[in-house]
Amino acid sequence: MSSTRDIDALIEMMAKLPGLGPRSARRAVLHLIRKRALLLSPLADLMQEVAATARECVNCGNIGTSDICDICASEKRTNGELCVVEDVADLWAMERAGGFKGRYHVLGGTLSALDAVGPEDLRIPRLIDRVTSEGITEVILALNATVDGQTTAHYIADQLETRVRLTSLAQGVPIGGELDYLDDGTISAALKARKDI
């Protein structure tokens, strides 16, 4: 055998991570083994630490190290705005962009007739509770511009319609985007939503 059982098992496990395949897993594991004192041990320790401490916020679904995440716990973020996202990755992307000073609500997916995902499978009941209990005045539906994402946005809008201001992210030309490379849908959305300069 060229490599022993544990090394093979590690490669196999790494190969199942999103974005990695067998070849890149082998490269990553070789790299880690070569720098095992500097890299592999600390990485394993950190993973163990995260495995022990990471949990979902019971309020919004964000991932953090306590039952209530830092954003939900922060007094500074109670400005009455609630941003609804599909996934924790979307929440992180919004935070990296900065500029949003309210709180989040992570649905954990989208409604999908095909995959039999209904409102009770997502955090939609909890969202409706929060709108009342946290004194929310504006709900920003920052869902992906996919069919399922937009279906979900419509469903939530129906549920909340009369209670709060409902908004969605603006659609248009991305910063740095070239018209020639954009799809027709984006161009016509940007044209419809054109602004005076």
Question: Footprint of its own copies on this chain (CB under 8 A)?
Answer: 1-4, 6-7, 9-10, 13-14, 17-20, 24, 26-33, 36-37, 39-51, 53-54, 62-65, 70-71, 87-89, 91-92, 95-96
Alpha helices in the chain (DSSP H): 5-15, 22-34, 41-53, 70-73, 88-97, 124-133, 147-160, 184-192
Cα separation, 102 vs 138, in Å, equals 10
61 vs 149, beta carbon nearer its own copies: 61
> Can you read off the two tokens belonging to residue 95?
């935070």
Q: Shortest Cβ distance from residue 152 to its own copies (Å)?
A: 20
Q: Shortest Cβ distance from residue 35 to its own copies (Å)?
A: 10
24 vs 79, beta carbon nearer its own copies: 24
Q: Shortest Cβ distance from residue 143 to its own copies (Å)?
A: 18
24 vs 188, beta carbon nearer its own copies: 24
CA 5 to chain centre: 36
Q: Shortest Cβ distance from residue 79 to its own copies (Å)?
A: 17
Q: Crossing angle of helices 5-15/22-34, nearest 10°?
A: 130
11 vs 190, beta carbon nearer its own copies: 11
Radius of gyration of the chain measured on its C-alpha atoms? 21
Q: Shortest Cβ distance from residue 23 to its own copies (Å)?
A: 8
51 vs 179, beta carbon nearer its own copies: 51
Q: Shortest Cβ distance from residue 47 to its own copies (Å)?
A: 4
Taking a C-beta distance cutoff of 8 angstroms, is the pair 137, 166 a contact?
no
Q: How far is CA 191 from CA 143, 184, 196, in A?
A: 21, 11, 12
Tokens 């022993």, located at residue: 4
8 vs 134, beta carbon nearer its own copies: 8
